[in-house]
Amino acid sequence: MAKEDSSTPTQQSPAGNLMEKIVALTKRRGFIFQSSEVYGGVNGAWDYGPMGVLLKRNVKDAWWRAMVHEREDIVGLDSAILMHPLVWKSSGHVDGFSDPMIDCKTCKKRFRSDDMDGAVCGLKPSKSPLACGGELTEPRNFNLMFETFLGPISDSSAKTFLRPETAQGIFANFANVISTTRVKVPFGIAQVGKSFRNEINPRNFTFRSREFEQMEMEFFCVPGTDDDWFKKWVEIRKRWYTDLGLSDGKLRLRDHDKLAHYSKATTDIEYLFPFGWGELEGIANRTDFDLRQHQRGIRTVGKWDGGDLSSVELAAEDAEYQKGKLSYFDDEKKQRYIPYVIEPAAGADRATLAFLCDAYAEDNAPDANGKVETRVVLRLHPRLAPIKAAILPLMRKDGHPERARKIYDDLKRRFFVDYDESAAIGKRYRRQDEIGTPLCITVDYDTITDGTVTVRDRDTMQQVRVSEDKLRDLIEEKIGL
Ligand code: ATP
């Protein structure tokens, strides 16, 4: 048997700065690196390494599974990042997607004026810009959209933006989806993709980045049923996080009292990160605002001369707007109307970070010689774990590697598994603990004679002997497939 430490580990509270430990682990184990690190890095952009890409993909897959795959009333979409410039006028982003910004004339740093308490002075990092004595400007609005140009000519008619949210691609495809599928209101359109915001102060690791991924769904419903759907979606979305193992006690719902102009109600799902509460997802009742705005926008196209978008007047909302392309015809009631929209908008990077923070644990566990040491373990939900099982030959001889490879070759057709013969068994277990692998399968002398292997559980560290042909079922059961 692959002897290690089979007594149950005792959990301890991680000492020191938890966030620093998590950041260090994600770098050490290939989850997250700073973008362009070898060039000194860029602020607000992150690269997901070999483990991170698997974890984040599993987060997005779990979302897609819950939102599209397992629902009859939601379809998927993958719309382009680059859109017609008028989309951003109609959506309100050209005129209103800004944060109030304050410049410090002394240290030349920029701050969000609504986040001055958490900011630090550029010259005296121990002080806040409110206390360092630097000369501050009055707040002014700073549009968060990244500008770019379609084609080689950089004039105003070619100017567009990297999308700051994925939602507008959904609204712009509302009519296409209706005419090409059998959806009927109430129904949703979901998509996962990159968004870009030129955040004034990107910070808290990946929490506030300039390039990030969103998982958004627009749920179109009959006006009057929107309040019920809103409540339902808040519940469904909160449960998604707890079903994937996020601690209920570290999640809270926060109703907005100051609502955005398009919203009738907004509730954020927040997680208690080591740096404090932060939004994972916002659920908004957007009424019929977006479809109506785009209805006006598509009538503006012919009138737009390619000039500066901020001075464009959208076409008026006349009596005809109810019949436009972005309205819905109810075949049974013979009625045409503009549906209301409930939007659960989540961030893939923030969810990934929350799962990482929640999973990080340290416990006291005896090593192979019985010496108690601190073990770092990522207690990720098996469905999210980058690697589902590691196949480890006990020895690098006596037929163990060949037998282990055979098991690996069989399992890899079904699951993301790892083969590792590189170090002492205890060290290999610890490495898998740190990346959150739920099961370690060890091939030893008994395997050669009776076809059984030891399966070690990441959380309890208990080992059981099972027959090789039971491994697929065991992993499936663990993941909950
Ligand atoms: P915040 O108030 O934190 O700036 P927001 O309310 O502007 O976020 P939304 O526009 O509702 O965010 O976007 C939906 C989701 O997209 C957020 O809940 C978050 O998970 C994610 N998100 C938004 N901005 C960022 C960012 N700069 N970095 C990473 N994720 C983000």
Name the more confident of 252 and 322. Answer: 252
Q: What is the mean pLDDT of residues 339-368?
A: 95
For ligand 1, atom 8, the nearest C-alpha belongs to: 279
User: Ligand 1: which of 168, 214, 271 to mutate, most ligand atoms within 8 Å of CB?
Assistant: 214
Any idea which of 106-120, 129-143, 245-259, 435-449 has the lowest mean pLDDT?
Answer: 106-120
User: Ligand 1: which of 60, 163, 212, 215 to mutate, most ligand atoms within 8 Å of CB?
Assistant: 212
Q: Dihedral sign for Cα 393, 394, 399, 403, please.
A: negative
Q: Check pLDDT > 80 for residue 11.
A: no
Spacing, Cα 348 to ligand 1 middle (Å): 10
Orientation of helix 348-359 relative to helix 18-28, angle to 10°:
110
Q: What is the mean pLDDT of residues 189-200?
A: 97
Contacts with 477 (C-beta within 8 Å, 6 or more apart), sequence order: none
Q: Check pLDDT > 90 for residue 128.
A: no
Separation between Cα atoms, residue 374 and residue 382, nearest integer Å: 22
User: Distance of CA 158 to CAs 92, 197, 247, 321, 440, Å?
Assistant: 19, 20, 47, 28, 55
Summarize pLDDT for 45-87 with one digit per residue, the tens: 999 999 999 999 999 999 999 999 999 999 999 999 999 999 9
Please answer whether residues 299 and 316 qualify as being in contact, where contact means their C-beta atoms are separated by less than 8 angstroms: no
Please answer whether residues 26 and 348 qualify as being in contact, where contact means their C-beta atoms are separated by less than 8 angstroms: no
Q: Regarding beta strands 74-76 and 276-287, do their DSSP bridges make them parallel or antiparallel, or are they unpaired?
A: unpaired
pLDDT band at 481 (very low <50, low <70, confident <90, very high): low
Q: Check pLDDT > 60 for residue 170.
A: yes
Q: Check pLDDT > 60 for residue 2.
A: no
pLDDT band at 367 (very low <50, low <70, confident <90, very high): confident
Please answer whether residues 349 and 213 qualify as being in contact, where contact means their C-beta atoms are separated by less than 8 angstroms: yes
Q: Check pLDDT > 90 for residue 8.
A: no
pLDDT band at 321 (very low <50, low <70, confident <90, very high): low
Contacts with 40 (C-beta within 8 Å, 6 or more apart), sequence order: none
Residue with tokens 């690269």: 47
Please answer whether residues 244 and 355 qualify as being in contact, where contact means their C-beta atoms are separated by less than 8 angstroms: yes
User: Distance of CA 436 to CAs 52, 223, 406, Å?
Assistant: 12, 45, 23
Q: Which residues line ligand 1 (CB under 6 A)?
A: 165, 197, 199, 208-209, 212, 214, 279-282, 345-347, 349-350
Please answer whether residues 221 and 343 qualify as being in contact, where contact means their C-beta atoms are separated by less than 8 angstroms: no
Roughly how many angstroms between the first and final C-alpha of the chain, as a whole number?
29
Q: Closest ligand 1 atom, CA of 345?
A: 14
pLDDT band at 126 (very low <50, low <70, confident <90, very high): confident
Q: Dihedral sign for Cα 136, 138, 143, 149, please.
A: negative
Average pLDDT, the chain: 93
Strand, helix or coil for residue 236? helix
pLDDT at 15: 63
pLDDT at 262: 87
Long-range contacts of 461-470 (CB under 8 A, 24+ apart): 461/4, 461/5, 461/6, 461/7, 461/8, 461/9, 461/365, 462/6, 462/8, 463/1, 463/2, 463/4, 463/6, 465/1, 468/407
pLDDT at 114: 81
pLDDT at 123: 87
Q: Closest ligand 1 atom, CA of 208?
A: 28
Q: Closest ligand 1 atom, CA of 284?
A: 11
Summarize pLDDT for 419-441 with one digit per residue, the tens: 999 999 999 999 999 999 999 99
Q: Regarding beta strands 417-419 and 389-393, do their DSSP bridges make them parallel or antiparallel, or are they unpaired?
A: parallel
Q: In terms of Cα–Cα distance, which of 303, 312, 267, 311 is closest to 285?
A: 267
pLDDT band at 95 (very low <50, low <70, confident <90, very high): very high
pLDDT band at 399 (very low <50, low <70, confident <90, very high): very high
Contacts with 336 (C-beta within 8 Å, 6 or more apart), sequence order: 322, 323, 327, 328, 329, 330
Enter the pTM of the model.
0.93
